[in-house]
Amino acid sequence: MPAIIKPEDIWVIIPAFNEGPVIRGVVAHIRQCGYPNILVVDDGSTDDTAAQAELGGAMVISHLVNRGAGAVAQTGLYYARKKGIRFVAQMDADGQHHPEDLARMMTRMAKGDCDIAIGSRFVEKKGDVPWIRVLYNQISNVFTNWFCRRWYSDTQSGFRLLNRHAIERLELHIDGFGYCSEMIIQAEMLNLKVAEIPISVSYTDYSMSKGQNLHTGVITAINLIWKLVFTPKN
């Protein structure tokens, strides 16, 4: 029988670095969709990101310096483990993700056949994805899927839902964007079940100015391979 997942069972964790202009609205939108528990990890912002997130209704944890999206994921998972949180949803702070899609990810998670649900922009074509983002994603997919048993269509998606089993087992080490790939590769190594769920995205001039570009994507891939190949395993 499928499990019952309630919106209040989920903590939405958002990495935010200098997102003052938009973060309050992003948090408010998530709350309007019925998800009351929101944690914004302010990653060493130099603007009013933390204050705006709190005004939107989020709890805020702040890094003293900018460490990267992967470090935020580590902070979020550490918080979830300590608090006994059942489900963690990861979403970007720039407004490109639609919190309405979280319901679909919850439905799949409730079936009990996945520990990590990844919101994929490419399982189905839902909205226009700029060609440069498609190109970057394809390059990153090649690097990531090389280390995987399965082929994943959107290895760099920042929209994910994790259950308690995944929260407890994952031990991320990459501070930068490479954590997206690291999570998938590590999940397979730990025999965690991963599913991709189609989502819609909205790109604006603001969101396009955030995140990764082709240059940072190549650097991310190189750093990922270096850590996977040359970092000693415990």
CA angle 188, 118, 177 (to 5 degrees): 80
> Is 37 among the domain residues?
yes
> Is 92 among the domain residues?
yes
> Is 226 among the domain residues?
yes
Contact at 8 Å (CB) between 106 and 5? yes
Query: Which residues touch 182 (CB under 8 Å, ≥6 apart)?
Result: 70, 172, 173, 174, 224, 227, 228
> Is 2 among the domain residues?
no
Q: What is the pLDDT of residue 214?
A: 55
> Residues 59-83: pLDDT tens digits?
999 999 999 999 999 999 999 999 9
Structure letter (DSSP) for residue 65: S
> Is 214 among the domain residues?
yes
> Residues 4-44: pLDDT tens digits?
899 999 999 999 999 999 999 999 999 999 999 999 999 99
Contact at 8 Å (CB) between 63 and 44? yes
H/E segment holding residue 21: none
Assign residue 103 the CATH number of its domain. Answer: 3.90.550.10
In this structure, the number of other CB atoms found within 10 A of the CB of residue 58 comes to 26
- pTM for the predicted model, two decimal places: 0.87
pLDDT over 90 percentage in the chain:
69
Contact at 8 Å (CB) between 116 and 183? yes
> Is 148 among the domain residues?
yes
> Is 110 among the domain residues?
yes
Structure letter (DSSP) for residue 111: T
Count of domains in the chain? 1
Burial 76-109 (b: 16+ CB within 10 A, else e): bbebbeeeebbbbbbbbbbbbbbbebbeebbebb
> Is 79 among the domain residues?
yes
Copy the structure tokens of residue 55: 């005004």
> Residues 90-130: pLDDT tens digits?
999 999 999 999 999 999 999 999 999 999 998 876 557 76
Range of the domain at 109: 7-230
